[in-house]
């Protein structure tokens, strides 16, 4: 075995349940961008939908189309578009599209017909400055969408924005800016059923930001978006466990190589990092491309399972521990496990059917 990423679908189902209960009656839109933060988009999508998520969000149209073509029937939201984006494909696959600018609206309208109208979610910039209509452009965007809707070419499904999560103060400001944009749209006669603003952080902590749906990403994978509380502290479970084996490569006394390196997602440049080998915490000495040198007691046998990260509270390091040791966020630890590492999906056992 080189490295293996075990994806625990019972943990994912648990997390989706916790998040749904927390934000109800708002719905959970699960962010499965970046191949579901490295966990596997298609597999995560099916368990999330079976566990209470009502819609899915990706970055770009092709990922949404891939989900639709695999048989996913729920609302699919994609918001990152460039001049080369295939709006025809998006419209024909009933993809909900984030719209930040008039040019996008025009392209979507051209791809639409009365039989198959484009489904749009208008985006207001509430301070993140990472696209979204600026407040001075907002009435024009809303008015343009309304006239396309009156012609039957689009349906205005949503109004949305994204919070910077820089500080609670910034978020409060952004919620106010969002409410102001909704009020302007309302005056212009546009009242969509899907108002969505928050991701994991504000969705968890700020009831005012929940509206009709919360776009949860990282928290669903069991990782906290906060500095002051862990995923475990939020009652969440780790979804990904990264394992490998003890290597037979010769190592200096008191050291052993393990069979995963930075090409398998072991972060390079972490300080004071540890792995669990046969249930014991062992310090990481140095990380190479495909192996890592660890400080190991002689008692460890060659068959011992090595856990780089996994479920906190079971004695193994967590992805959040690695994030701290590496000066990054847990998102980067799990998303950084490359595709070449095999995923093993441990699925929830389906309930026995009675008839």
Ligand X SMILES: *Cc1c(COP(=O)(O)O)cnc(C)c1O
With respect to ligand X, which residue has the nearer C-beta, 216 or 309?
216
Residue among 100 and 201 whose Cβ is closer to ligand X:
201
Length of the chain: 355
Minimal distance in Å, beta carbon 112 to ligand X?
23
Give CA 89 to chain center in angstroms. 23
Nearer to ligand X by Cβ, of 117 and 225: the residue is 225
Residue number, 162 or 195, with CB nearest to ligand X: 162
Q: Which residue is closest to ligand X by CB? A: 217
Tell me the two tokens of residue 167.
């500080």
Return the number of the residue (209 or 258) whose C-beta is nearest ligand X.
209
Going by C-alpha positions, the residue among 214, 220, 189 that lies closest to residue 18 is: 220
Q: Identify the burial level of 299 via C-beta atoms within 10 angstroms of its C-beta, where 0-12 means exposed, 13-18 middle and 19 or more buried.
A: exposed
Least distance between ligand X and beta carbon 129 (Å):
14
Cβ 244 to ligand X shortest distance, Å: 27
Q: How far apart are CA 214 and CA 16, in angstroms?
A: 12
Which residues make up the interface to ligand X (CB under 6 A)? 31, 33, 162, 199-201, 215-219, 225
Smallest distance, Å, CB 237 to ligand X?
Answer: 16
We find the least distance from the C-beta atom of residue 288 to ligand X, in angstroms, to be: 31
Please identify, using beta-carbon distances, which residue of 40 and 225 lies nearer to ligand X: 225
The CB-of-161 to ligand X minimum distance in angstroms stands at 9
Cα–Cα dist 214/351, whole Å: 28
> In this complex, which beta carbon is closest to ligand X, that of residue 222 or of residue 261?
222
Q: Cβ 277 to ligand X, closest distance in Å?
A: 31
Determine contact, residues 94/64, Cβ cutoff 8 Å.
Answer: no
Q: How does DSSP classify residue 246?
A: B
**158, 316, 147: which is closest to 232 by C-alpha?**
316
Pairing relationship of beta strands 194-196 and 4-8 according to DSSP bridges: unpaired
Measure the CA–CA gap between 87 and 229, rounded to whole angstroms. Answer: 41
Task: Say if residues 239 and 39 touch (Cβ distance below 8 Å).
Answer: yes
Residue partners of 256: CB distance under 8 A and separation at least 6: 246, 247, 277, 293, 294, 296, 300
């Amino acid at each position: 075995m080189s490295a293996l990423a075990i994806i625990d679908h019972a943990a994912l189902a648990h997390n989706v349940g916790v998040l749904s209960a927390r934000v109800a009656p708002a719905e959970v839109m699960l962010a499965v961008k970046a191949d579901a933060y490295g966990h596997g988009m298609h597999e995560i999508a099916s368990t999330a939908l079976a566990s209470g998520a009502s819609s899915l969000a990706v970055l770009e149209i092709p990922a949404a189309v891939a989900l639709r073509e695999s048989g996913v029937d729920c609302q699919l939201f994609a918001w990152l578009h460039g001049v080369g984006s295939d709006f025809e494909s998006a419209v024909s696959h009933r993809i909900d599209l984030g719209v930040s600018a008039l040019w996008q609206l025009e392209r979507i309208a051209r791809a639409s017909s009365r039989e198959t109208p484009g489904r749009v979610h208008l985006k207001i910039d509430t301070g993140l400055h990472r696209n979204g209509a600026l407040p001075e452009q907002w009435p024009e965007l809303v008015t343009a969408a309304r006239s396309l809707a009156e012609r039957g070419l689009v349906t205005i499904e949503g109004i949305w924005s994204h919070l910077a999560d820089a500080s609670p103060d910034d978020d409060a400001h952004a919620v106010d800016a969002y409410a102001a944009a909704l009020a302007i749209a309302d005056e212009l006669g546009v009242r969509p059923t899907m108002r969505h603003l928050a991701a994991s952080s504000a969705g968890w902590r700020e009831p005012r930001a929940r509206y009709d749906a919360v776009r949860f990403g990282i928290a669903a994978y069991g990782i906290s978006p906060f500095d002051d509380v862990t995923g475990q502290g939020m009652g969440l479970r780790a979804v990904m466990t990264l394992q490998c084996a003890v290597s037979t490569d010769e190592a200096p006394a008191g050291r052993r190589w393990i069979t995963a390196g930075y090409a398998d997602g072991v972060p390079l440049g972490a300080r004071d990092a540890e792995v669990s080998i046969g249930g014991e915490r062992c310090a990481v000495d140095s990380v190479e491309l495909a192996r890592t040198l660890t400080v190991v007691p002689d008692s460890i046998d060659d068959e011992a399972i090595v856990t780089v990260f996994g479920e906190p509270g079971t004695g193994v390091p967590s992805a959040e521990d690695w994030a701290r040791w590496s000066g990054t966020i847990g998102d980067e630890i799990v998303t950084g496990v490359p595709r070449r590492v095999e995923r093993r999906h441990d699925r929830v056992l389906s309930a026995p059917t009675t008839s």
